[in-house]
Amino acid sequence: MSETASLADQAETETADLAIATTALTKRFGHQLAVNGIDLAVPRGSVFGFLGPNGSGKTTTIRVLLGLASATSGTARVLGHDVPSGLRDALPRVGALIEGPAFYPFLSGADNLRRLDSADARADPGTRDARTARALERVGLTHAARKKARAYSLGMKQRLGIAAALLTPRDLLVLDEPTNGLDPQGTREVRSLIRAVAGEGTTVFVSSHLLAEVEQICTHAAVMHVGSLVAQGSLDELRGSGERVVRMLTPDGDRAVAELARLGLGAAEADAAAAAARRAGPGEVTLEAALPDDGPAAEDLVAALVTAGVRVRGFDVARPSLEERFVALTGEGFDVAR
Amino acid sequence: MPADAVAVRARTHGGALLASELRVLFRRWRTWAMLAALASIPVLMAVVVRLSSEPPGPGEGPPFLDQVTNNGMFVAVTALVVTTPLFLPLTVAVVSGDTIAGEASLGTLRYLLVAPAGRVRLLLVKYLSAVVFCLAASGTVLLVGWAIGVALFGAGEATLLSGDTIGVGDAVLRSLLVGAHVSICMLGLAAVGLFISTLTDAGVGAMAAVAVLTIVAQVLGQLDQLAWLHPWLFTHHWLAFADLLREPVVWTSFTQNALLQAAYVAFFGALAYGRFSTKDVLS
Ligand SMILES: Nc1ncnc2c1ncn2[C@@H]1O[C@H](COP(=O)(O)OP(=O)(O)OP(=O)(O)O)[C@@H](O)[C@H]1O
Ligand SMILES: [Mg+2]
């Protein structure tokens, strides 16, 4: 084999390890940049959380990846096929739930699935009924299979949408807010369903703004903010890139702040709501301070504080939770950023 | 390309989507309601003629109504003629305007496309299903017309426009010809509907636009000042069935209409393809 060929092979293997790869992917609606030059790298076999506040461009990215919308610029590959030219070969291996489920209200749940299955020219009609029944069973809808989709509740529709994504064996599952409208029981079921599907080797790309959910099921995540990708990596990498935080509970707030400042830590009283949540007793305050990686060890801090006469009633050094990282990356406000 | 992809490509089931499309079309209440409404026209006509004390004289009422009492099969011809200007195109407008826009407003369009249905394949299947509906619609009027006509008036000899008298076999043939002409008349409209349907995500809007176009085209066809435009209107030959009821049959308008409709299908089919193959599906 010639050298150039083996180099090409190597490049091929590298992208082949990614279920989704984009370079500088951009989508513009008029003047608005809905997706702004993102470089996504979703490893094969991962459960990938695609995070971002409302309007940050998650659904738009998914639409471009699946060929529903064309990219303004940049390139994308899905399962090693170019978007959009190679999607015809990629999409039969991709199951998707995009911005909520959608059905023919006058067809039963099972008929809706058969209809979508027959749209895929590569799906075998011989096994259609069996696969439909199996997909319905996986989402717990066997008993509602013959009910008209019009009569489905929000959560049942969501489940039916997930069933449609599972009609044939998939290499990639793209789920846009899959637990939207589900009851706590349903949310748990979806989570275990995602784990089961991932266990079969399927890459799962799940968009969400529910961090707890992502933290529980994902191996990797990316964070979108106003159309840009602000962070991406394995969960540990994402958490680890945040500074450690010292959190302490004490009745001697002023003295503690002074002592921590002497040790090089700028402490501040945590906001009232957070303090209340940590149930500070009467007269107690909760202090928080960022602890640099080259800062003093936790036990030295406590020793110094106690020596200075601070009554330490609680002390904790922790990496920020994903939620705190998320807020730090995307801003605290509840308002949609644009 | 991975070897497994090649193996998979060898076995495809492209016809399944058309079958599914037709099943969806004929599972809908709406479709049956429209066919039932169309069927009511020949029934109404036949019953009214039957109940009236004296049969309609020559040239009275809708075309060929006077022949109905001689040969019940002419109920079908008269009903086709009566439904062609408005009723039939209205139903075709509903079905063709809904093809893509209806899927978009349900949200199912995005799921069909990622299935993947293929944009060109989906467009073709949608047009074919609209064509099947056109055939079903005129076929309904024809069959119901025959049935009620023969039941109420029997099948005897009838007089053609040329004055010739024809028997039962010929009457079947002639009414089939009129049915074919009317069906072909709807094909261009269905293509226009398909195109309009790719322009919007609102199914009802597309249907209304197609219906309005039908009426506008017929109004323009009445204005003598626009005589130069008339041969190009898709409605131009809609009522040109009289030549099919002469002895011998004059084929000119039948073939001219077929050519015109084919041109409309090609032109608006191409527009629909141009629009839909590059459209961002954001519904
Ligand atoms: N069809 C459209 N036309 C114009 N702008 C659009 C369109 N669809 C989306 N946008 C804009 O693109 C941006 C990204 O929207 P998108 O739906 O991708 O957000 P999202 O991250 O999925 O939000 P959510 O969490 O609410 O689902 C938004 O600012 C939105 O206003
Ligand atoms: Mg969204």
Nearest-CA residue for atom 5 of ligand 1: A29
Q: What mean pLDDT value characterizes chain A?
A: 86
In this prediction, residue B1 carries a pLDDT of 40
Q: B228-264 burial, b for 16+ CB within 10 Å, e for fewer?
A: eeeeebbbbbbbbbbbbbeeeeeeebbeebbebbeeb
Q: Any alpha helices (H) in A148-209, and if so which ranges?
A: 154-165, 184-199
Residue A13's pLDDT band (boundaries 50, 70, 90)? Answer: low
Nearest-CA residue for atom 16 of ligand 1: A57
Determine the average pLDDT of the residues in A44-56: 92
- Decide: A154 and A178 in contact? Cβ < 8 Å: no
Identify the closest residue of chain B to A71 by CA–CA distance.
B280
HEC secondary structure over A234-275: EHHHHHHCCCEEEEEEECCHHHHHHHHHHCCCCEEECCHHHH
pLDDT by residue (tens digit) across B65-93?
A: 777 777 888 899 999 999 999 999 999 99
In this prediction, residue B67 carries a pLDDT of 74
Tokens of A207: 């968009």
- Decide: B198 and B279 in contact? Cβ < 8 Å: yes
Closest listed residue to residue A103, CA positions, set B133, B17, B24, B123: B24
Among A60, A115, A154, A160, the residue to mutate for chain B (most B Cβ within 10 A):
A115
Q: What length is written for chain A?
A: 338
pLDDT by residue (tens digit) across A203-251?
A: 999 998 777 778 889 999 999 999 999 989 998 888 776 677 888 888 8
Determine the average pLDDT of the residues in B25-32: 94
Residue B8's pLDDT band (boundaries 50, 70, 90)? Answer: very low
Per-residue pLDDT for A7 more than 60? no
Q: Which domains does chain A have, with CATH numbers?
A: 3-239 (3.40.50.300), 243-316 (3.30.70)
Nearest-CA residue for atom 25 of ligand 1: A54
Find out whether the beta carbon of A149 lies less than 6 Å from any atom of ligand 1: no
- From the CA of A54, which ligand is nearest? 1
**What distance in Å separates the CA atoms of residue B135 and residue A95, rounded to the nearest whole number?**
36
Residue A319's pLDDT band (boundaries 50, 70, 90)? Answer: confident
Interface of A with B in 95-134 (CB under 8 A): 96, 98-107, 111, 114-125
Which string of DSSP letters, residue by residue, matches A15-73?
Answer: HHTEEEEEEEEEEEETTEEEEEEE--EEETT-EEEEE--TTSSHHHHHHHHTTSS--SE
Tokens of A73: 């610029």
B110 to A89: CB separation less than 8 angstroms, yes or no: no
3-state secondary structure of A97: strand
In this prediction, residue B157 carries a pLDDT of 80
pLDDT by residue (tens digit) across B254-266?
A: 999 999 999 999 9
Q: What length is written for chain B?
A: 283
Taking 3-state DSSP, the helix, strand and coil percentages for chain A, each rounded to the nearest 5, stand at 40, 25, 35
Tokens of A327: 């807020």
**% of chain B surpassing 70 pLDDT:** 93
Find out whether the beta carbon of A226 lies less than 6 Å from any atom of ligand 1: no
Among A63, A68, A106, A176, the residue to mutate for chain B (most B Cβ within 10 A):
A68
- pTM for this structure? 0.86
Determine the average pLDDT of the residues in A58-84: 95
B280 to A92: CB separation less than 8 angstroms, yes or no: no
**What distance in Å separates the CA atoms of residue B35 and residue B171, rounded to the nearest whole number?**
24
Residue A114 CB partners (closer than 8 Å, separation 6+): A128, A129, A132, B20
Q: Any alpha helices (H) in B107-227, and if so which ranges?
A: 108-114, 119-153, 168-197, 203-220
Find the A218 Cα to ligand 1 centroid distance in Å. Answer: 24
**What distance in Å separates the CA atoms of residue A73 and residue A27, rounded to the nearest whole number?**
7
Residue B91 CB partners (closer than 8 Å, separation 6+): B34, B35, B37, B38, B133, B137
3-state secondary structure of A293: coil
A104 to B278: CB separation less than 8 angstroms, yes or no: no
Residue A87: HSE in the Cβ half-sphere, 13 Å Cα cutoff: 22
- Decide: B122 and B112 in contact? Cβ < 8 Å: yes
Find out whether the beta carbon of A336 lies less than 6 Å from any atom of ligand 1: no
**Nearest-5° Cα angle at A176, A170 to A178:** 85
In this prediction, residue A104 carries a pLDDT of 96
Per-residue pLDDT for B5 more than 60? no
Closest listed residue to residue A190, CA positions, set A116, A149, A134, A138: A138
Q: CB neighbours (10 Å) of residue A192? A: 10
Pairing mode, strands A18-29 and A32-38: antiparallel
Find the A74 Cα to ligand 2 centroid distance in Å. Answer: 21
Tokens of A288: 């928080």
pLDDT by residue (tens digit) across A27-42?
A: 999 999 999 999 999 9
B116 to A91: CB separation less than 8 angstroms, yes or no: yes
Residue A56's pLDDT band (boundaries 50, 70, 90)? Answer: very high
pLDDT by residue (tens digit) across B114-153?
A: 999 999 999 999 999 999 999 999 999 999 999 999 999 8
**Nearest-5° Cα angle at B105, B102 to B111:** 90
Tokens of A232: 């991406």
What phi and psi, each to the nearest 5 degrees, are found at residue A19?
A: -75, -35
In this prediction, residue A34 carries a pLDDT of 95
A322 or B281: which carries more pLDDT confidence? Answer: B281
**% of chain B surpassing 90 pLDDT:** 71
Place of tokens 């190679």: A86
Per-residue pLDDT for A43 more than 90? yes
Determine the average pLDDT of the residues in A321-325: 74
Residue A314 CB partners (closer than 8 Å, separation 6+): A247, A248, A249, A250, A278, A286
Pairing mode, strands A47-51 and A220-225: parallel
Beta bridge pairs of residue A33: A28
Per-residue pLDDT for B53 more than 70? no
Interface of B with A in 4-43 (CB under 8 A): 5, 8-9, 11-14, 16-17, 19-20, 23-24, 27-29
Per-residue pLDDT for A137 more than 90? yes
Per-residue pLDDT for B35 more than 90? yes
In this prediction, residue B6 carries a pLDDT of 43
In this prediction, residue A127 carries a pLDDT of 93
Ligand 2 ion local residues (Cβ < 5 A) = A 59
> Which letter does DSSP use for residue B56 in this model?
P
Tokens of A88: 């015809």
**What distance in Å separates the CA atoms of residue B158 and residue B9, rounded to the nearest whole number?**
58
**What distance in Å separates the CA atoms of residue A315 and residue A328, rounded to the nearest whole number?**
23
Asked whether the bond before A101 is cis by omega within 30 degrees of 0, the reply is no
Sorted by where each begins, the domain ranges of chain B are: 19-276
Among B111, B120, B123, B280, the residue to mutate for chain A (most A Cβ within 10 A):
B111
- Decide: A214 and A208 in contact? Cβ < 8 Å: yes
Which string of DSSP letters, residue by residue, matches B229-276?
Answer: TGGGSTTTTTTTTGGGGSSSPP-HHHHHHHHHHHHHHHHHHHHHHHHH
Per-residue pLDDT for B11 more than 80? no
**What distance in Å separates the CA atoms of residue B217 and residue B182, rounded to the nearest whole number?**
16
Pairing mode, strands A18-29 and A172-176: unpaired
Determine the average pLDDT of the residues in A106-130: 94
pLDDT by residue (tens digit) across B146-200?
A: 999 999 988 878 778 777 888 888 888 989 999 999 999 999 999 999 999 999 9
3-state secondary structure of B168: helix
How many CB contacts within 8 angstroms connect chain A with chain B? 102
pLDDT by residue (tens digit) across A239-288?
A: 776 677 888 888 888 888 888 888 877 766 665 555 555 555 667 888 88
Asked whether the bond before B248 is cis by omega within 30 degrees of 0, the reply is yes
